[in-house]
A and B are shown apart, each in its own frame.
Chain A
Amino acid sequence: MVYTIENIKHVLNLSADILINSKERLTQLDSNAGDGDLGISMEKGASALKAEVAAYTGEDIGELFIRCGMAFNRVAPSTMGTLLSGSIMALGRKHRGSKEMDDNAAIQAPRIMAEAIMNLGKGRLGDKTILDALIPLAEAIESSFESTPDIRLAMKTAAHAAEKAANETRGMLARVGRTKWIAERTKDHPDGGAVLCSIIAQALASAN
């Protein structure tokens, strides 16, 4: 299927709404590991992103992503905010000048975002970060779509993989970022970024 700028705007708004509605849960998770600002910074970023989506009147999907990434970054300059912004902007660079995306482009999006986050944050699989959910998600969506070219099925499979992987960050020791210094203390909690990734994946998979 072909996705127009209106479809992309819908997906962005949906993802932003999930972040806003998950504020309490994210705050709770982050207060195990840090200063508990994850919920509030994601809410700020998501609200700015929605405002940017509403204000954008052009047709360039890449430009829309870049503007959304910048808007998110402007109000959420935390590490997670910057990484998410960077991953949205990476989608923007990839689709610069495009008026539409197809299924293949949609399937590749999680991989592009994961690579941008790895590149910016210097994190790897197993460091107890968002990547521990996003990389399994990217792999699941690619392999599902390859064996059965059904995007809805692929998204459901990917959401399931992300949820499982996010749960499995419980018990892992953090190896990068602020949490690294208190790795032992946060060992029994799942990673906030990984849970965030899983929450968005599930919401998108169950939406129309």
Chain B
Amino acid sequence: MKKILNHADNFVEDSLKGILLAYPELLAAHPEDIKAVHRAGAPIQEKVAIVTGGGYGHIPVFLGYVGKGLCDGVAVGNVFTSPGCETILNVTRQVNANKGVLYLFGNYMGDCMNFEMAAEIAEMEGIKTETVKVSDDIASAPRESWKERRGIAGIFFAYKIAGACAERLAALEEVKAIAEKTIENTATFGVALSSCWLPGSEKKIFEIGEDDMEIGMGIHGEPGVKRGRLTSSCEITEILLPSILEDLSIKEGQRVAILVNGLGATSQEELFILYKDINEALAARGIKPVRVFVGEYATSLEMVGASISILKLDDELLELLDAPAYTPFVNVGGVRGA
């Protein structure tokens, strides 16, 4: 695989340096720990701070969601590897404004352990934390045990809504509750057409045949629910969408937000073909996509494929989804209209 880099060992650090040099007015890092990145100007007084984190290689997840209306800080790990608890603590101390800190991250074992260890030390230092894990991947566990699911692209909705709530100076318990409500009402399902190369590795992390696709594959190459022949966008929609609608018990007339996410090497053009089919399939069922996001919101290096996420909306969630948010990678909400 051709990659633009200097040394594979410095992949994360060099990439982070580039991001910090490109956006000095928006992002900053801990002076002794470049993997502890926060909003320039943190801590923001009177505000609950949201700290996220996870392995590198998923941009804009996780770092790309640090900014106004979203998260306050991020602990960056090595490629597809949890950040260490020291980095999480470095971020926590930097963004803490004594209104509490919400840890909001995807449900993976390494991340869960390190955030838990960090929370224990933070508590010892007098910093109050709460934890919400994102678990939206319906391929990884059934609805009745949805809290055991892996966290994937649906994390976007959790960031957006919890971030908007925190930006309005809500209390820690409120921010936590709205994050949990969002995740419970979010479901994601995707297909991978080919996997990706870790920097410095000669082999892809996973092989998928030229004519095949893996349904429900995880963002680190975890096995999906089944492998099938690569079919049309229409048929992919008919594989993914009904399962999501059923998972969320979405009935005719329901308002939803849709996220069509590219995994890293699928073109925007293709993603919009997929959205056309989703829109038609929703129309046929009388379901209303009132907010639509199409693009790269959670990737796996240069993985080929896409996922569909749906957030079941009510007035409260819609209003927070529409609030402005701005980072170097994500610019959503704000003024709507042509």
Name A residues whose Cβ lies closer than 8 Å to a Cβ of B.
66, 69-70, 73-74, 77, 79, 82-83, 85-86, 89, 93, 96, 119-121, 177
Contact = CB atoms under 8 A, between A and B. Distances in A.
B140 to A, nearest CB: 14
B338 interface: no
Contacts of B116: 86, 119-120
Given A70-B85, A73-B85, A77-B82, A82 B114 contact: yes
A73 B114 CA distance: 9
Interface string B95-126: 00000000000000110111011001100100
Interface of B: 77-78, 81-86, 109-110, 112-114, 116-117, 120-121, 124
A185 B119 CA distance: 37
Contacts of A96: 124
What 3 pairs across the A-B complex have the smallest Cβ distances?
Answer: A70-B86, A120-B113, A73-B84
B59 to A, nearest CB: 20
A79 B110 contact: yes
Nearest to A117: B113
SS of B interface (majority): helix
A75 to B, nearest CB: 9
Contact of A77 (B84, B112, B124): B84
13 contacts: A73-B86, A74-B86, A77-B78, A77-B81, A77-B83, A79-B109, A82-B110, A83-B113, A86-B113, A89-B85, A93-B120, A93-B124, A120-B117
A70 B84 contact: yes
A83 B78 CA distance: 18
A86 B117 contact: yes
B82 A82 contact: yes
B148 to A, nearest CB: 10
SS of A interface (majority): helix
Nearest to B109: A79
Nearest to A90: B120
A77 B110 contact: yes
A179 B114 CA distance: 20
B124 A85 contact: no
Contacts of A79: 109-110, 113
A175 B269 CA distance: 44
Nearest to B33: A74
Contacts of A77: 77-78, 81-84, 110, 114
Contacts of A120: 112-113, 116-117
A74 to B, nearest CB: 5
Contacts of A89: 85, 117, 120-121
A85 B81 contact: no
B214 to A, nearest CB: 16
Contacts of B110: 77, 79, 82
Nearest to A62: B124
A85 B117 contact: yes
Nearest to A75: B84
Contacts of A93: 120-121, 124
Contacts of A69: 117
B84 A74 contact: yes
